[in-house]
A = this chain, B = another copy of it.
Amino acid sequence: MTNSAPAGAQPAQTCCALTKIPVSAADAERLAPMFKALGDPVRLRMASLIATQPEVCVCEITPAFDLSSGTISHHLKSLRDAGLVDSERRGTFVYYWIRPEALAALSALLSVDCC
């Protein structure tokens, strides 16, 4: 039980939505899965890799990780199920892109720019 802040001292000075009003159970059910999807190092990197480009082919994602293609697919599915990315097959290849609304929802909760 470390102690990095004088317990009685000043409160969290970082202001963000999370610190304004307790997240409701309903919001928590909706938002937690997105955090969960980003809660694995591989998926966090995948999401970032996809987010840095308009769209990314799976054939570009696969070689960026030392994992089987089955595992890559599995993680991409997690990200898609969480609503963070979307995908489309175009010919032989499948392309993924980020869903900005999803990032915005998380950002709104954590962003310090809310006040």
Contacts and interface: CB of A to CB of B under 8 A. Distances in A.
Contacts of A14: 100, 103-104, 107
Contacts of A12: 51, 54, 97-98, 100, 103
Contacts of A49: 22
Given A25-B41, A44-B23, A100-B12, A51 B110 contact: no
Interface residues on A, range: 35 or more
A110 B100 contact: no
Interface of A: 1-5, 7-8, 10-14, 16, 18-25, 28-29, 31-33, 35-45, 47-49, 51-55, 80, 86-90, 95, 97-100, 103-104, 106-107, 110-113
